[in-house]
Amino acid sequence: MPHPADCSVLEAAGLLSAGELSSEELVRACLERIAGRDGRYGAFIRVYEERALVAAAESDRRRALGTAGALDGIPVALKDLVGIAGLPLSGDSALLEGNVAVEDATVWSRLCDAGMVLVGHLHCGELAYGHWGVNPFDPALSPGGSSSGSAIALAARMVPATIGTDTRGSIRMPAAFTGCTAVKPTFGLLSTAGCIPLSFSYDVVGPMARTAADCAVLLAAMVGRDRRDRMTWCQQPPERRTLAPRAGRAPLAGTRIGVPDLGALLTPGVAGVLDSFCNELRALGATCVPFAWPASPLEGPGEGAPAPWTYILASEAALVHAQFAGREHLYREEFRRLFLPMIRPAATADYLAAQLARAELGERWGAHFDDLALDAVLHPASTGEAYRAAEDVTPEVLARLMLGTWNDTGFPVVSLPAGRSTTDGSPVGLQLAGRPFSEVALLQLAVDVQAASGHHLDLPAGLDGAGSPYAAPPRLECGSGAPFVPVRNPFDAVFPGGATLRG
């Protein structure tokens, strides 16, 4: 049997079901890994050892009674934006040091109902923006952001499952840079109730794990309408089923995958990984369809003006951050340098024009899927390799990323590890994007690919070797900030005020 902390979600579930492993043994193995490794990597901001062991014992009792479900007893860790009633919730910021969540986030309450065991909260970019921690594949590489702790904990084999949030790539960038599998779901598929927001019309919550099959079972546990989040009310009843690799030598026969012609935009190392992955898809029966990547009206600044998407993020973030007025000195240096200049109310005309541009972009991508009869679109997370941790993260560096389009459109994406760059050996992640609410189809495609390849099994070297403790960036520990005041989503206004939902 492998070391329990090395198991994927479904591997661990199988061992638990067979009686070859108890939840307490599994949780203790993860806690020991955290204690032994996290000092080098900086994934966890808080570990709840006593709570986790109590929950594991309760899970073992349910299993003995025959009432345990598929996820019962599996450890999970949450980004420090996901609230749990009675536990600290700081958004990894000195601004909220001492804040305690007053309610459970819906995604956690559903995972808890499934029997999952919380082991801790994870470091992240401050209030969903920025980076934190060490990339287990290479300390010289950035782990990405802002769900960096969520990715590091997986890559360093400390827990089998984590939860992140994605406003403009914050799940997929760290997943791509650290060799993890992850899902940015369709906007409105998973509830964000109980989470600290950054942008009301961009934010999504999503699962991160080692395999697509793991992500599928985690997603199924969290999906569905929520009376506390009206953004979820438009979805159809969720499709809940376990995904397994399809039989035969060509399980992707009839699948059409669009691959944009990015030409000289890609570095040789990333281009090589993409070409090799496309060959793997063809070997499984898929057809790769070349097409021209459509220009986005949200990305390009004109006449020195900010990119239009920043008007949306700025306006919505300003509403959230207004409660921190007078305490701006408590933001981290990275946040002050890169994000604080954006937290300003945009002119109404600029904001509305940007939102209209989003509608235009979504229609444009919908037409591409229709005209080319595509089941998915495949492209790299970044046109270049993971950037160096020593580099100052600048707008120019962030411009390499190919992530924002799917936040602008709200379309779902599965992020997959696809191999390593021959240039510097860094992990390269690819994105499988699809039409809204096509998560099950995308994940089935990903499950089939991972059944035939081993990219997702790539393990960082020297995880238990000697290394320097993580030198965290300076952070003021004030401990006297006002508690976080939840901000009502202004888009609630577009739904009938008297409507009620169960669940």
**Residue 146 is among the residues annotated as catalytic for this protein:** yes
Determine which one of 59, 148, 170, 315 is catalytic. 170
Residue type, 448: D
Q: What are phi and psi of 256, to 5 degrees?
A: -110, 120
- List of E strands, 353-420: 376-380, 413-420
Q: Is 291 left (phi over 0), alpha (psi -120 to 50) or beta?
A: beta
Q: Assign 256 to helix, strand or coil.
A: strand
| Amino acid letter, 107 | V
DSSP state of 347: P
**Are residues 208 and 151 in contact, defined by beta-carbon separation less than 8 angstroms?**
yes
Residue 421 and residue 273 in contact, taking contact as beta carbons nearer than 8 Å: yes
* Helix, strand, or coil (residue 469): coil
Tokens (6 digits) for 4: 């329990």
d(CA 401, CA 152): 19
Given the residues 23, 93, 146, 199, the one annotated as active site: 146
Q: Give the residue from 45, 121, 47, 119 showing the smallest Cα distance to 78.
A: 121
Q: Is 170 a catalytic residue?
A: yes
In the numeric block, which tokens belong to residue 330? 């408590």
Active site annotation includes 184: no
* CA distance linking residue 476 with residue 363, whole number of Å: 45
Distance separating alpha carbons of residues 326 and 216, to the nearest angstrom: 43
Of 79, 147, 201, 453, the catalytic one is 79
Alpha-carbon gap, residue 363 to 367, rounded angstroms? 6
- The residue written with tokens 């109310």 in the block is 345
Active site members: 79, 146, 170
